Structure formats: structure tokens, C-alpha cells
A and B are shown apart, each in its own frame.
Chain A
Amino acid sequence: MKEIILNKLIEKLGDSQIEFSEFRNDLSILLKKEHLLDAALLLRNDEELKFDMCKDVTAIDWEKRKNRFTIIYHVYSFKNKFELRLKVNIDEADLAIASLSGIWKSAEWYERETFDMYGIRFISHPDLRRVYMPEEFEYYPLRKDFPLLGIPGSLPLPK
């Protein structure tokens, strides 16, 4: 199964554009930002691959690396009973990436959560609002520079 996926992706995107790794039987594929939409369309629509459920979208903040954030997508194929992880590195200077909510509907709220927690904008997302914190909250809580106890005064108490 792993070879089929890698071959199809290499065929579509070119050999040097993807890297893959395997840890504890989990396959992860590292893509470049501009190829994400094509790869996702291929993974969902191809008859042999058929990755029809997106289980999770999240991001990792590496704090002091050049590409500060990595966005992670977990997709699952019912036909092949195979789970795949896609990774995309993005930089703090350009915190925007294409939204996959047109391909997998479940990505809509996950991307909203990633925006709420990390501040990453998803282009052409139908409704990019905060999901956990109040709308006017000014910070992004899961970034490494936000303290655990919060910033005093950032959230008001009643009365």
C-alpha cells in the first residue's frame, strides 16, 4: 500500500517534491505548500487510493526553527483500511495555506480550531472564525510564546 501511494504521488508531483518517513508503522509524507491541493485531490479522487475521511487537522509550533509551523493532516481510506499523515511546513512570514474544506468537509472545523490556536489563515475557507476562545481574544493560545497561565487582563470577568 505504501508503494502505491508513493508511486502515484511521485507520478503527479515529481520525484523531488515529496519526502516520506515511517515511525512505529505510521506513514508520514512531507509535501510542499503549493502541492497540497493537488495531492489532496489525488488522494481523495483516485479509485485505488480513495482516502475519503479526514480525521484530523492540526499544527505544530517548532518555536525556533526556520519554518516555524508544520501543519498535519490525518486522512483515512475505508477501502484500503489505511491511515496516512500529510505534513506541510510553513513559515511565520507567510502564515497562509490553502484550505482543504472543499475536499473533505470535516476539515472545516479542524481548520477553524487550528486558526484559533495558532493563527494560521486558511485561504478560501467558508467561515474562518474562532471556535474555542471568544471572538475578540487577541492572542493565539497554543503558540509556544503564549504562557500557560495566560496574559492577565486578556479575558474579562463579569462585573
Chain B
Amino acid sequence: MKKEINISNDEKLIKSLMSQAADVSIDDALENEMIINMGPQHPATHGVLRVVLRLDGETVISSVPELGYLHRGYEKMAENMSFIEFIPHTDRLDYTATMCNNVAYVLAVEKLIGIESPDRAQFIRMIAAELSRIAAHMIAIGTFAMDVGAVTMVMWTFREREKIQEIFDRIAGARFTTSYTRIGGVASDIDDFALKMIKEFLDQLTAGLNEMARLLNSNRIFLERLEGIGILSKEDAIAYGVTGPSLRASGVEYDIRRAKPYLFYNEMDFSIPTYNDGDCLARYHLRADEVKESVKILYQCLQKIPAGEIIANEPKKVLAHKTEVYSKMEELIHDFMIINKGINPPEGDIFFSAENPKGELGFYIVSNGTGYPWKMKIRSPSFCNLQVLPKLIKGHMISDVVAIIGSLDPVMGEADK
């Protein structure tokens, strides 16, 4: 007879919470000390994040974040499906920037197999990734401003995001979870109308961004709520493994697009914004600056995109186009072998990481020569960025906790895998 487990047993969590600040004594503890649950269902925790706070009045003494409310078993599922079947799952990792995850995953698999996709496909992937980056930062800025009190921002940033999703609808067929990239290239080509749509979108985006900046940047309430809150020092950021905008806002100029360039980023002219303050306001300004840099990269991509193939010509590793599969014999055989037996990469393990809007998304794939990976580890940036949360909110008030979580911008689909 199996013992019925109590799924909400918090004993060890409370013990860890109390031991974190064991030396702190609160005057008038009966009146002022509280242990409060900022539960998984909360309007401002950006998903299902649970933070248990120990308070002295309104000031946070110690806290313990708890994850796992969205643990869907990605890594176990990856061991039971082929490389191609896993592409739709990567969409749902960081679900605010769906194309970026797709691009990172297929680049990792291509590194493992040892093939390279054609130039046009790489430019298309860059365009998709940068549009996704703008979309993700729009959600981040919008919901962050909404948490702090400026509710209008969500509506404005979602208006811009809807235009990006219309572009995705045109090029990939779906507005949100697109699964657009394939191993060896992309699924379908961008036509001239889509390129025109992208150019029109970029032309009016700068005006929209300026409007948003005029609303927020000199707003006294916004500034007072965010300046000096949640300061992350440079040493802490490196020690805790924080990557992405939070790291760059603390003074470390680390962007994988410059440190280990992939696709054609080494030919693009863009700068990496860096701030030295490390507080919430710096992270907000950094995201706004990154959107402007993405616009610059997109203009250059639109100019430089070459004509050509969109999928690599490797019959044994890359799926051929459906029209050829239905009409030619060799393609049919290859299609059958790839779908049923898998792509059979060589034995070995690789680690590849790409610059996602949230940080550094890495895939560590171990292959044993068969069509299924033996192990796939997803190094998600949000999981690591959340590690620094207890240190950041110590000593601040409850309303600052909301602002700090918003500025760190975690996405639980990625943190929980």
C-alpha cells in the first residue's frame, strides 16, 4: 500500500528560510514578524514562481524562491524523441521569444552533426531572432511597467508586439509558437511582401519607442520606485552565473553575439549597451537600448540578405522538401530513413549557447550515435538569474520585491523546463 505523499510539505523550505538570517532578531517579533507566501498564483510574479518571504513589518529579512510548478519534464522527453521532433518543444521554453529558442536549438544540433546551413537561411534566422528579441523585450518592459504602476505601457507594447506577430504569421504560418527553423535551414522562405512588412514595421517602431520613453523616462514616480533598488554588483553577477541584460546592467560587457559569434553577427555593426549601476532602472534602460540595437541589426539584415537556398543540401541529415519527396525516389528513401531511424549524429557531446533576450540559452547534447539524444540538458538563463533573487530583495520592502522580480524578468517555462 503506497504511502500518500503530501505534495505541499514545506518543512525543509521553512527551515532553510529561518536559517538564512538566523542571527537577525526583530524587536517586537510578535507584532512585526511574518512569514508570507507570495504564491504561485500572483499577478506580478511573471508566471508560477513562489517566493516565501520572512518579513519584519514590511522589510524583507530573508526569502526562499520555490520553482517546479511548471516542470514539464523536457529533458526526459528529449531522450525519447528524435532531434526533429523536439523542435516544437523548444518554442515553449522561453515563450516570450519563441523564434530565438528555435534558432539556438537547431544551431546546437547542427554543431553536433557538423553541417552548416546556407547563407540565406542564416540571414532569415537572424531576422527571426532579432524580431523575437524585440517582442520579448516589449513584454518585459510592458509587464515591468505595469507591475510598478504604469498600466498603459502593457497596452502600448502589446500593440507593437501584435505587429511582429502578424509578420510571423506571414513568414511562418503561426503567430506565436512557430517552430520555424529546421535542422539545416528554415522551414519556408521569406517573400518580398514579408520583407516589405518588416521594413514598414521598423520605420514606425522608433516613433512608438520614443512615445513610450516620453511617458516613462522622466516620470518621478517611476524613477523613485526604481532608482537604487535591487543593486546587483559586478562580482555577485559573475559569481551567481547571471547572464543577459541583468549582467550587462551590472557592468560586464558580455554578449555571446560578440564573444562567440554565430550566424552572421560578426558582420553586423551593432554596439553592446552596458550600464554600471546594476539597479532596476539600469536594467530597464538596457532593455530599451537593446531594442534600438536590434532595429539597427534588422535594417542591416534586410539590406544584406542574399538570394539562395533555404535548406542545406545534405540528403542523409536534412529533410528534403515535400514536393520532392512525393515525386523523386531517392528523396523518398532518405525521408523514410531520417524520420524512422533518425539523423544519427556521431558519438560525442557538445555545448552550444546563444544570446536569448533573457540571457544565455545553452544546449548540452550527448549523442550515442542513434537518432535520439542520450541526454539533453537545457541551460536556461531564467533558472540561473533567479538564484540571485534572495540576495537582491534582502532589506527591501514588499513593493520592491515586485519591481525586482520584474526587472530580472524570469520566464517560468524556461526556469522550470
A contacts B directly in the complex (CB < 8 Å)?
yes
Q: Report A's interface with B, CB cutoff 8 A.
A: 23-24, 26, 28, 52-56, 58, 60-61, 72, 74, 78, 81, 83, 85, 104-106, 108-110, 113, 117, 127, 129-138, 141-142, 146, 148, 153-156
Q: B351 contacts the other chain (Cβ, under 8 Å)?
A: yes
Inter-chain contact B5/A58, CB cutoff 8 Å = no
Inter-chain contact A106/B240, CB cutoff 8 Å = yes
Residues of A within 8 A of B67 (CB): 131-132
Inter-chain contact A56/B379, CB cutoff 8 Å = yes
Inter-chain contact A132/B416, CB cutoff 8 Å = yes
Contacts A60-B374, A148-B77: A137 and B348 contacting too (C-beta < 8 A)? no
B368 and chain A: residue at smallest CB distance: A62
Residues of B within 8 A of A129 (CB): 12-13, 16
Q: How far is the CB of A126 from chain B (nearest CB, A)?
A: 9
Interface membership of chain B positions 336-363, coded 1 if the CB is closer than 8 angstroms to chain A and 0 otherwise: 0000000000001111010000001010
What are 26 A-B residue pairs whose CB atoms fall within 8 Å in the complex? A28-B349, A53-B239, A55-B360, A55-B362, A58-B364, A60-B375, A61-B375, A72-B364, A74-B351, A74-B364, A78-B252, A85-B349, A105-B239, A105-B241, A106-B384, A129-B12, A129-B13, A130-B68, A131-B67, A134-B9, A137-B5, A138-B5, A146-B76, A148-B76, A148-B77, A155-B7
Inter-chain contact A131/B348, CB cutoff 8 Å = no
Residues of B within 8 A of A74 (CB): 351, 362, 364, 379
Q: B238 contacts the other chain (Cβ, under 8 Å)?
A: yes
Q: Complex: how many Å from CA A74 to CA B349? A: 12
Interface membership of chain B positions 4-22, coded 1 if the CB is closer than 8 angstroms to chain A and 0 otherwise: 1111111111001000000
Q: How far is the CB of B152 from chain A (nearest CB, A)?
A: 36
Inter-chain contact A109/B9, CB cutoff 8 Å = no
Q: Which 8 A-B pairs have the closest CB atoms?
A: A106-B241, A132-B68, A136-B5, A132-B71, A23-B348, A105-B239, A58-B377, A56-B379
Residues of B within 8 A of A24 (CB): 111-112, 114, 348, 350
Q: B254 contacts the other chain (Cβ, under 8 Å)?
A: yes
Residues of A within 8 A of B8 (CB): 134
From residue 252 to 278 of chain B, which have CB atoms closer than 8 A to chain A?
A: 252, 254, 259-260
Inter-chain contact B362/A78, CB cutoff 8 Å = no
With a 10 A CB-CB cut-off, give which of B6, B73, B77, B351 has the most chain A CB atoms.
Answer: B351
Q: Complex: how many Å from CA A155 to CA B398? A: 33
Q: How far is the CB of A8 from chain B (nearest CB, A)?
A: 21
Q: Complex: how many Å from CA A74 to CA B313? A: 33
Q: Complex: how many Å from CA A110 to CA B364? A: 14
Interface band, chain B: 35 or more
Residues of A within 8 A of B384 (CB): 106, 109-110
Q: How far is the CB of A150 from chain B (nearest CB, A)?
A: 8
Inter-chain contact B259/A153, CB cutoff 8 Å = no
Inter-chain contact B349/A23, CB cutoff 8 Å = yes
Q: Complex: how many Å from CA A83 to CA B4? A: 45
Inter-chain contact A133/B68, CB cutoff 8 Å = yes
Contacts A81-B260, A109-B387: A52 and B350 contacting too (C-beta < 8 A)? no
Residues of B within 8 A of A108 (CB): 387
Q: B366 contacts the other chain (Cβ, under 8 Å)?
A: yes
Q: B328 contacts the other chain (Cβ, under 8 Å)?
A: no
Contacts A53-B241, A78-B254, A134-B68: A109 and B12 contacting too (C-beta < 8 A)? no
Residues of A within 8 A of B370 (CB): none
Q: How far is the CB of A2 from chain B (nearest CB, A)?
A: 16
Inter-chain contact A56/B5, CB cutoff 8 Å = no
Contacts A72-B364, A109-B383, A142-B76: A52 and B9 contacting too (C-beta < 8 A)? no
Q: Complex: how many Å from CA A26 to CA B260? A: 13
Q: Complex: how many Å from CA A108 to CA B388? A: 11
Interface membership of chain B positions 103-122, coded 1 if the CB is closer than 8 angstroms to chain A and 0 otherwise: 00000000110100000000
Residues of B within 8 A of A134 (CB): 5, 7-9, 68
